[in-house]
């Protein structure tokens, strides 16, 4: 008999027992058995394929819940060693946030939250696309689940999330405008958790105002006024720019020329403190074209001068940091 056949039998038990406690017990026994044989047993028994097949059994609650228990217990038993295999099953697990059986959905939430709270921080960039996919589905429960996981990831991998914040802010902001109140609230909470990675002391006090402006564009004027009143003395890095740039982008696109002026002043002030071109590179396409339009198209000479000055400061920050400026903005 092949060494992994007892493992297959345990998996069958974990996904077929009538009682939840019995399924959980079998899942724990399976995880310990795999730990004893070594992680190679996971692929020998084709566990990821079995789990995904069980999760897809729409009419079999025992199979779906048991599969989640197996993944959760395996993660408990193997820790970081289970991560490569967990990643294979992650999309199928995320889909089960929308399970019609509350017990299955709760098991998924517990399983995924435990994983995201303990995951290797360097996996953050690999995890994000899965979360973004979940946040763009039609299922509000899946959106809320993924937003909660993103908030947890901000504490598990703060440095990595800080570098990824330029990608994160627009995706979470989209969910702030969702028609479902639960999604709106989850998005706002998630962005708040993600913004805990911002350590610029000049901007930290107004982060809640900037988050609120992302959720409600009508508050953009208030956010800009707070930025205008901020004295920038500390280095401005990528996480700091990630929450500020969307506010500036909306202001620069506004028809009100005074809004444009305020944005240009803020860009000029803060870009003098950008030390690394890599920090500002994700925002070049969002700021430089708008500043060029202010410089060339606004009918008021004074405002055009503000635009030219802000653009020059941003270009200098990019060049001084070793970055490359697109030819049309030189």
* Rounded average pLDDT over 157-177: 95
Q: Is residue 239 in a domain?
A: yes
More confident residue, 317 or 171: 171
Model pLDDT for residues 86-95, shown as the tens digit of each residue: 999 999 999 9
Token output for 287:
């700021």
Q: Which of 215, 146, 202 is nearest to 174 (CA)?
A: 215
pTM above 0.85? yes
Residue 70, pLDDT score: 98
Q: Is the pLDDT of residue 1 over 70?
A: no
Model pLDDT for residues 12-32, shown as the tens digit of each residue: 999 999 999 999 999 999 999
Token output for 272:
């003098």
Q: Is residue 247 in a domain?
A: yes
Cα gap 325→281, rounded to integer Å: 9
The domain total for the chain is: 1
Q: Is residue 314 in a domain?
A: yes
Q: Are 256 and 219 in contact (CB under 8 A)?
A: no
Q: Is residue 78 in a domain?
A: no
Residue 320, pLDDT score: 80
Q: Is the pLDDT of residue 323 over 80?
A: no
CA angle 110, 116, 121 (to 5 degrees): 165
Q: Which of 260, 269, 262, 174 is nearest to 214 (CA)?
A: 174
Cα gap 57→230, rounded to integer Å: 56
Q: Is residue 61 in a domain?
A: no
CATH number of residue 316's parent domain: 1.25.10.10
Residue 112, pLDDT score: 98
- Mean pLDDT, the chain, integer: 94
Cα gap 94→329, rounded to integer Å: 43
- Boundaries of domain holding 308: 198-329
Q: How confident is the model at residue 40 (pLDDT cuts 50, 70, 90)?
A: very high
Q: Are 323 and 280 in contact (CB under 8 A)?
A: yes
Q: Are 298 and 260 in contact (CB under 8 A)?
A: yes
Residue 168, pLDDT score: 96
Q: Which of 286, 327, 280, 287 is nearest to 311 (CA)?
A: 287
More confident residue, 90 or 274: 90
Per-residue b or e along 138-147, where b marks 16 or more CB atoms closer than 10 Å to that residue's CB: eebbbbbbbb
Q: Is residue 113 in a domain?
A: no
Token output for 50:
């079995």
Q: Is residue 165 in a domain?
A: no
Largest CA distance in the chain: 85
Q: Is residue 66 in a domain?
A: no
């Amino acid at each position: 008999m092949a060494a992994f056949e007892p493992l297959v039998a345990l998996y069958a038990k974990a996904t077929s027992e009538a009682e939840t406690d019995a399924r959980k017990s079998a899942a724990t026994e399976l995880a310990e058995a795999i730990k004893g044989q070594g992680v190679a047993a996971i692929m020998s028994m084709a566990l990821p394929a079995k789990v995904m097949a069980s999760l897809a059994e729409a009419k079999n609650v025992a199979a779906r819940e048991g599969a989640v228990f197996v993944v959760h217990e395996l993660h408990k038993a193997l820790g970081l060693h289970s991560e490569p295999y967990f990643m294979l099953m992650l999309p199928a697990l995320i889909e089960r946030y929308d399970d019609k059986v509350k017990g299955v959905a709760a098991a998924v939430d517990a399983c995924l939250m435990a994983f995201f709270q303990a995951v290797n921080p360097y996996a953050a960039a690999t995890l994000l696309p899965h979360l973004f996919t979940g946040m763009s589905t039609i299922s509000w429960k899946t959106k809320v689940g993924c937003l909660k996981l993103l908030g947890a990831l901000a504490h598990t991998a703060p440095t990595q999330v800080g570098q990824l914040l330029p990608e994160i802010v627009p995706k979470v902001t989209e969910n702030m405008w969702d028609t479902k109140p639960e999604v709106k609230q989850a998005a706002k909470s998630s962005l708040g958790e993600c913004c805990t990675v911002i350590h610029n002391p000049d901007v930290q006090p107004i982060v809640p105002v900037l988050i609120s402006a992302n959720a409600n564009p009508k508050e953009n004027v208030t956010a800009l006024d707070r930025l205008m009143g901020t004295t920038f003395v500390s280095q401005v890095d990528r996480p700091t720019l990630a929450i500020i740039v969307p506010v500036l982008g909306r202001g620069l696109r506004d028809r009100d020329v005074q809004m444009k002026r305020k944005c240009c002043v803020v860009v000029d002030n803060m870009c003098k403190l950008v030390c690394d071109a890599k920090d500002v590179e994700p925002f070049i396409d969002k700021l430089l074209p708008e500043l060029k339009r202010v410089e060339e198209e606004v009918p008021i000479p004074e405002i055009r001068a503000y635009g030219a000055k802000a653009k020059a400061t941003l270009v200098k920050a990019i060049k001084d940091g070793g970055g490359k400026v697109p030819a049309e903005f030189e």
